[in-house]
Every structure is written in C-alpha cells, then in structure tokens.
Amino acid sequence: MTKNNKIQVQRTRKNGQDVVTQIIREFKDQTRAEIKKWRDALRMAADIDHPHNYMLQDLYDNLEADGHFIAQVLLRKAATTGYSFGIINKETGKKDDEKTELFQSEWFYNFLDHALDSVFKGYTVLELTNPATMELTLIPRRNLIGTRHMVLLEASADKGIDISQGYEHTLIHVGKPEDLGVMAHLCGQLIWKRNAQQSWAEFTERFGMPLISATTNKTSQSDIDRIDTMLAALGESARAVLPEGTSIKIDPFTGGDAYKVFYEQIECINAEMSKPITGGTMVTDDGSSRSQSEVHERNLDDKLAESDRRKIQFVVNNQLIPIMQYWGWPVNPETDKFQWDDTFDLTPNQHWNIVNQILNRYTVDQEWIAKTFNVPILEERQEPQFVNEPNENDEPHPNNGSLSRNFR
C-alpha cells in the first residue's frame, strides 16, 4: 500500500466462508518412511477413480527435514526471490516505481515462497483471506485433488468443495493440476539416505567403541558378577578394581574402512538430489575446478531459475494482478504488467566505464547519472575559455615568436 493510497475493500465474497477455514485439521503420518509407503502413496495419488494426496504429502513433510535437501531448495528459491522486478507500463515500457512498491512487501515474498514450493511439492492453490493486506493462505496440498478441481474437507474423504468456478477473485493456482512435484521422484533417495544414516549410527554404537574382555581364574558367580560390573564401568570411566588372577584385554575395531559403505552412499544420494533441484553438484558442495562450478551455477541461474521466474511472471500477470484490481488495489492488467529485471548485472566500475564512453558522444541526463551512481550533481561545469589579450605571464612561442594563449 502506498502512502497516498489506502486500499479499501470494495467487494464481498460471493461464496461465503473461506475454503481454508472449512478444512478439518487431522493427524499427519510421521512414522518411519519406507519405500513401500512411497510406492503406495504414488499409486493412491494416481488413482483414476478415487485419487488422494494426503499420504504422499505427509511423506513429503516427513522427508523434507534433510540438511542437504533444505540447502538445495533454499538456493533454488533464492535464485528467484533475490531477482529484481518491477511493474511496467505497457504503453511506455517504463517502470512504475509507485506500483512496484506495492509488491515490495512481505505479503508478496510470502506468495513467492509458496508459489515456488510448487516446483517441489506439486500443484499449489493459495486463497486470498484478507484483501486489505493481500494475505494469502496456502490450501493444504494433502486436501487438494487438482485433477478434479476439488478441496476435500477431510483428507481421506471423497467429497469436498468444487473450486473450478466461483472463486476467481480469491484463489490463485500455481502449476499443473496433475503435477506432484520433484519430490515425487526424490522420496526414494531421501528414504535410502535416512536408512543409511540410521545404519551408520547403529554401526558406530556397536563397533565404534573397542571390545573389552577379561580372563579370570575365579569360578564363583559373585566374582564373575563383580568382574562383569567392573567391565561395564571400565567402558565409561576407564578404571576398575578386579579380583586377583584377572586380566583384561582391549581390542580396537580392526575391520576394513566400513564407514565408507555408508558415507559413499550418502554422498551419492546427495549428488542425485542436487542435479534435479539446482542443476549440478558443485553449487553448494566443493567442486574439482572453478570452471565446472561456474557451469553448474549457470545451469541454476540461466536455466532452472529462469524457468521458475517465467512461471511466476505468468501467474502474477494472469491471476494476481486481476485479483488485486478486483479488490481495489491501484493496478490494472490492461495497462500494467509484472516483469523481472533482465538487464545485465554489471559491477559499478564496468557500469561507469560504459557510461563514460557514452558521455564522449552523447548528452546523458544528469539526474539519471546522479541517481545511478549516487553522486550529488550540483551544476554543469563550464568549459575553459581562451583569451587573446597578452599579459605579463605570456611567453613567446619558440617557433614564430607569437605569444602563447593562457587559460582563464
């Protein structure tokens, strides 16, 4: 909202209660993720007669708590949310700073965050729950059946709210209704990685500590129990009092490089996750060369992120701006369009060198230069003028004896 434009909600909902408020909150399955559960969830989501997404979306929520996956997702999102944008006047092609300011607010970046999640979790629907502040609320994907344009009030039910019509001014759709997101393909990798980490932890618990054994000539059960107690204490405090005739032996683990069985599996899975999310393995991890890592960065910035930005641009221009106009915000889809800044990203020094060359041939707007380079320009400097009148400082020219000119 601008300082001079206080948005007034001019209309009321024709459909009564918000869709989000009608959804019944239910228990989410957070039990151990298994390959069979993943395959069953995919079959359930693809069922022609009775599709349901709650099992697959619960699996997404369970598995997304992976450090490497989180880093890749945040990096992919940042490639779009960190990009400059503006509201452009279609007739003049110039950026409207006042209307652009409407979008440089928390609500719009929250919208971007939810919209970009559609890449990973599939078809996304947002509901405008407060038109005065542009508060957009995510409709839970576990209750959403995109192929039937339906929101289930209970995730396992067969009936719900038909959102195919009547919600044009409150609902924003992102992605294709049949899209299940990148995570539909990555769940197997995430499950195998979690299993490898759990197996590694069990291996460390069993074989990470050295084996402590005792040999004794005592035969009474009380002595044997006492020795057993001392061995248990020895593993923690490294000291014990043992009966006479008892010797102890500490055998460290002498197996092969067993940790690499788990480590290499985890590293391989991380690489498999990085490729579909950021387009390479060297954007967040160490690479073998700078040139290769730069290639991977270009895959993210010039290809994947460009695709994400194009998707967002379509959604904003075709859905968000018309909805904003409907509720009284000062934007018009007929004259305004949302556009990402596609100018070259130059360093200040490179930018100045280009401008300096232009100044040699053309007149450049002083106000633009002052604003671009943050330099206060007061007035144009006067060019030095020649004077022909001789004065006491004039000296004869060495060739013809004429007086040389001085600058004033």
**Tokens standing for residue 355:** 């401008």
pLDDT number for residue 290: 46
Phi, psi of 148 (to 5 degrees): -110, 5
Per residue in 215-261, pLDDT (tens digit) is 777 778 887 787 777 777 766 555 555 666 666 666 666 555 667 78
DSSP, collapsed to helix, strand or coil, labels residue 273 as: helix
pTM greater than 0.75: no
CA Rg, the chain, in Å?
34
Q: Are 395 and 403 within 8 A, CB to CB?
A: yes
pLDDT number for residue 275: 86
DSSP string, 165-197: SS-TTTEEEES-TT---THHHHHHHHHHHHHHH
d(CA 158, CA 54): 12
Buried b (16+ CB within 10 A) or exposed e, 243-255: beebeeeeeeeee
d(CA 250, CA 299): 53
pLDDT number for residue 296: 47
pLDDT number for residue 281: 62
pLDDT number for residue 254: 59
pLDDT beneath 70, residues of the chain: 1-16, 208-213, 234-258, 281-302, 343-346, 381-408
d(CA 37, CA 167): 35
Strands 406-407 and 386-387: antiparallel
pLDDT number for residue 331: 96
d(CA 196, CA 183): 19
**Tokens standing for residue 273:** 């996750």
**Tokens standing for residue 115:** 């919209």
DSSP string, 331-388: --TTTEEEEE--S----HHHHHHHHHHHHTTS---HHHHHHHHT----SPPPPP-EE-
d(CA 33, CA 183): 14
Q: Are 129 and 20 within 8 A, CB to CB?
A: yes
Residue 313 Cα distances to 80, 87, 99, 344, 367, angstroms: 11, 11, 16, 19, 31
pLDDT number for residue 200: 86
What letter would DSSP give residue 162?
E
pLDDT number for residue 402: 47
Q: Are 150 and 163 within 8 A, CB to CB?
A: yes
CA 147-169-131 angle, to 5 degrees, is: 125
Secondary structure of the chain: what % helix, strand, coil (to 5)? Answer: 45, 15, 40
Per residue in 32-62, pLDDT (tens digit) is 889 999 999 999 999 998 999 999 999 999 9
Phi, psi of 29 (to 5 degrees): -75, 115
d(CA 31, CA 243): 49
